[in-house]
Structure 1
Amino acid sequence: MEEEKRASAEFLMDEVSPRPSTSSLPQFEKTATPTPPSTKEQIVTCAWIALNTVATICLIFLSKKVFSDAQLKACQLMVVMWHFAATGLVLYISTRAPFRVFKAVRLSPWQMAPVCAFFAGYVILGNLSLTYNSIGFYQLAKVMTTPCVVLLNFVLFRKTITRYMLAAIVAICIGVALTIRASAQTQLFGVIIAVMAFTSTALYQIWIGKKIEDFEVSGPQLLLNQAPLSVILLVPFVPFFDKMPDVHAIPTDIILALCASGIMASLLNLSQFLIIGRTSALTFNVVGHLKTILILSFGWYSDGTILSDKEIAGIVLALGGGWVYSHLSMNRKK
């Protein structure tokens, strides 16, 4: 035990080489012989879940406030770069003493480039969706990521699901369709961006799962490599897509919201992987659906939206279908 402590007292950057992939599903670091968690471990896990929930809700509302400013709305890439930089910094700090949440590894930048491109694409499109859609519609559209993953897995890898899982997927699609009607009539561009956002998210999730297994690393280890590299990859595109803002003309509360959004983005990225590592993907899915309900409620409340009976039915179908699919999916893997 003393030797292990001395060995972990030094920070090492290991070179990791990929190996041939046999599955597209991510493998997270777990102990070989799991033991019942102690009271202290349960408290720590609950703290990470609470942090993840708070970070998710805060990030959405902070980003909505940031993009309400006309200048920052035209600086999508620079805002994303700030979020990536903050994420990389927080992840790096978490590998150092006294935290040592996980061990850092060094991956090949050339082999990381494609996954960084997917990473940047899904974040940028997600921000655009949040910019041109209400918080409620933005969050509900994200539920469509699950059906999109299923479809892409079938097209790319010929993976099939059970009829009950298919029924849950159909329920999700019908539910979102019932709530999308009013938005489609007034914000067609926002709907198109939302579709592109959840499609790119699905592609990223599939690709990231494959790379986690290829490199035999955990999610945070991969994210620590891809976050700073994503910033570098976006730099050449900034002059073509962004307009340099006049910082002095941006209100102070917007600047503070921008700074806080970077911190929330980093805490969100770190906590979501730690929740899966400490519990299970099923627990994370349940937490995710609870967050969706909270965000939808806060979003519609802040927008002063009064939901119709059809929209309420759509929300129940979409969230219920997502919850059922999560349970069926995890039971199938056991």
Structure 2
Amino acid sequence: MSGFQLGVVGSLALSVASSVAIVICNKALMSSLGFPFATTLTSWHLMVTFCTLHVAQQLHLFEPKPLDGQTVVLFGLLNGTSIGLLNLSLGFNSVGFYQMTKLAVIPFTVLLETLFLKKTFSQNIKYSLLVLLFGVGVASVTDLKLNLLGSVLSLLAIATTCVGQILTNTIQKRLKVSSTQLLYQSAPYQAAILFATGPFVDQLLTKRNVFAYSYSPVVLGFIVLSCLIAVSVNFSTFLVIGTTSPVTYQVLGHLKTCLVLSFGYILLHEPFTARNIIGILVAILGMGLYSYFSVREKNKKSTDCALPISQMAEKADELPLLAAKNSMHHQDKDTAATTLTSWHLLVTYCTLHVAQRLRFFEAKPIDTQTVILFGLLNGTSIGLLNLCLGFNSIGFYQMTKLAIIPFTVLLETAFLHKKFSQSIKLSLLILLLGVGIASVTDLKLNLLGSVISVLTIAATCVSQILTNTIQKRLKVSSTQLLYQSSLYQAAVLFATGPLVDRMLTNRSVSAFNYTFKVLGFIILSCSIAVSVNFSTFLVIGTTSPVTYQVLGHLKTCLILSFGYTILRDPFTGKNIVGILIAIFGMALYSYYSVLESKKKSANDTLPVTQMVDKEASPLLGAKNSGRYQDGDGDETKDANEVLPASKTSVGQ
């Protein structure tokens, strides 16, 4: 993978992770805690982003480069205005009309780039975008209530959003500045206009005064967390648009929309119709066509530019919308995965310890033997997964991951006496078949790799089953269990991580040259890992190990789609067919889970694959008491309904 592709992969991963994290955080802040001031919150996001980048610049993590003052001011004010208009558009329109507003951004962007930047979009590219927009519209648009003021606000929101995203790409490409440098220069101006207008916009939309709000310690804690996550959101926005294109960024946004809808159907068991599923499948087909035609046209024009067509730099005779001069450079590093994971878990424990001291949750004691065995088992499974990848081919590693679902079903049937209907099993079989077709290539076998794979499957399945069983049987929340066990998980990886990494990389983690840039990314990785670890325990605890694995394969399909759509990775009809089959299997799994849940609602309100069997015993015995807290689950229940107060997430 080239340095450019590596950078794009990192920016996409950061964009998705931070977007999901800020949705969950803002859901808790706005819905659960009653803080409705989205525009004002965004101004705080941008100010914290600027302060963070200023500290990074003082530590020489990047070099600031001056830009023309007029360019920066106009660009910053335009971006700030677009955020306010998007919030107003949502406030004065129905949800369906707001969805149509988001869909209109792509064709309007194509129109502007054609007229002002002289870009050419082939008929094939236009048709693929039309298929994509049609699919997203079918899947997400419901009512279309119109009103004059709302329509005007929507038009203004579309115009400012399109121009703002085009300029984000154009300035970086023409003026040779990095995404970090541009964000650092413009963030104060974006924050300034939202500082000035945010309280008035929020008063207009909520009939409440942001200055009269009662700021409790919990609310302040979530505001601080939201601002910290927003740094990653804003950074990844500029990075993705700069390294790809505004149109590709919008395609990524609609892919995340399909992902959010799928999350709702599969994990939250929200009601859906055939129309929703057909819409998502049509949208994915459109993304596949967009990727295919982009790759084909890139190959045809490879003599003009080495980048894909959607990323081609305009010729020197084409003028940017705003002009200035500058330059940039890029550098990347690597780290040891297993050792890094031990740091992730230690930071997770420290973060939860601070949260517990601030009384965000109540710590409840669990039997020591249970916690230690559980923590050591989870840590061991992580090390085995890394060893499995190191000692096997990619194809065999993919098969190892596919084997986790049937092995989990077998264990839960044998030891927990759970029952999985033929319909559920059939849907899981279709899902695994689709993922296998889409992702498995070579299947090179070796004895040591096979043994490690078997151990990996066993350790992963048992640890995920225990993550669910302990929470349900011992009446502890996901936060409480993670807090109790993360220290032991970190300990086993601290002890074994350097040895595993040395075995896989032939390098010593202690001899690595830790520059300020490397340390900065390690800290960022550890910060994001807190959300990853928290969400893992939360999803498994509130749903089931099987549902969590279904979610994992959904993420696999998403990653493959990213590669085809954004990175222009080569693909065949087999890959696309595999992804569509997998999505179909996920839809069937969700449908049958909801259907069987309704049939057995008298026994349990959870879907059949999540039902707790009263007579079964946990695999690890322990004693505990306390009231079950489902606040964590409530935070994610309607996460896709929240408008995150940040630039990237508004409308995506």
Give, in whole Å, the separation in 2 of the partners of 1:62 and 1:189.
31
Give the CA deviation at 1:109: 3.1
Provide the residue aligned with 2:126 in structure 1.
166
Give, in whole Å, the separation in 2 of the partners of 1:179 and 1:195.
23
Give, in whole Å, the separation in 2 of the partners of 1:261 and 1:136.
27
Gaps of 5+ in 1: 1-34
Which TM-score applies when normalising by structure 1? 0.67
Give, in whole Å, the separation in 1 of the partners of 2:111 and 2:240.
27
Give the CA deviation at 1:247: 6.3
Give, in whole Å, the separation in 1 of the partners of 2:2 and 2:253.
24
SS in 1 for 2:210: coil
Name which of 162, 165, 176 aligns with 2:136: 176
User: Which has the larger displacement, 314-323 or 111-120?
Assistant: 314-323
Provide the residue aligned with 2:179 in structure 1.
219
1:21-78 per-position Cα deviation (integer Å, ceiling 9, x unaligned): xxxxxxxxxxxxxx956xxx96x986665433210111223334444379743x3432
Aligned residues: 292
Name which of 49, 53, 75 aligns with 1:91: 53
Q: Give, as a single letter, the amino acid of the residue that structure 1 aligns with 2:25.
A: L
1:145-182 per-position Cα deviation (integer Å, ceiling 9, x unaligned): 33331122234445432121121122123223323542
1:288-324 per-position Cα deviation (integer Å, ceiling 9, x unaligned): 6664443333356687632221222222223432343
Q: Does 1:203 align with 2:154?
A: no
Shift of the 93–144 alpha-carbon distance from structure 1 to 2, 3 Å rule, reads farther
Give the CA deviation at 1:81: 0.9
Select the structure with the greater relative contact order (CA < 8 A; seq sep ≥ 6). 1
Give the CA deviation at 1:237: 3.0
Shift of the 301–324 alpha-carbon distance from structure 1 to 2, 3 Å rule, reads same
Name which of 277, 280, 286 aligns with 1:312: 277
Name which of 26, 39, 46 aligns with 1:77: 39
* Equivalent runs, 1:283-322 vs 2, <5 Å: 291-299=256-264, 305-322=270-287
Gaps of 5+ in 2: 204-208, 303-652
Name which of 265, 274, 277 aligns with 2:230: 265
Provide the residue aligned with 2:15 in structure 1.
52
Give the CA deviation at 1:80: 1.7
Provide the residue aligned with 2:197 in structure 1.
237
Percent identity between matched residues is 26
Give, in whole Å, the separation in 2 of the partners of 1:140 and 1:303.
25
Shift of the 331–96 alpha-carbon distance from structure 1 to 2, 3 Å rule, reads farther
Shift of the 185–126 alpha-carbon distance from structure 1 to 2, 3 Å rule, reads closer
SS in 2 for 1:150: helix
Q: Give, as a single letter, the amino acid of the residue that structure 1 aligns with 2:272.
A: L
Q: Give, as a single letter, the amino acid of the residue that structure 2 aligns with 1:60.
A: V
Give the CA deviation at 1:133: 8.9
SS in 1 for 2:143: helix
Q: Give, as a single letter, the amino acid of the residue that structure 1 aligns with 2:261.
A: L
Q: Give, as a single letter, the amino acid of the residue that structure 2 aligns with 1:55.
A: S
Give, in whole Å, the separation in 1 of the partners of 2:44 and 2:228.
10
Give, in whole Å, the separation in 1 of the partners of 2:149 and 2:22.
23
Give, in whole Å, the separation in 1 of the partners of 2:184 and 2:40.
19
SS in 2 for 1:183: coil
Give the CA deviation at 1:273: 5.0
CA contact (8 A) 1:144 1:176 kept: no
Give the CA deviation at 1:96: 3.9
RMSD between aligned residues: 4.3
Give, in whole Å, the separation in 1 of the partners of 2:268 and 2:134.
24
Give, in whole Å, the separation in 1 of the partners of 2:270 and 2:248.
31
Shift of the 126–50 alpha-carbon distance from structure 1 to 2, 3 Å rule, reads same
Shift of the 139–113 alpha-carbon distance from structure 1 to 2, 3 Å rule, reads same
Provide the residue aligned with 2:297 in structure 1.
332
CA contact (8 A) 1:91 1:270 kept: no
Indicate the structure (1 or 2) with the bigger Cα radius of gyration. 2
CA contact (8 A) 2:135 2:281 kept: yes
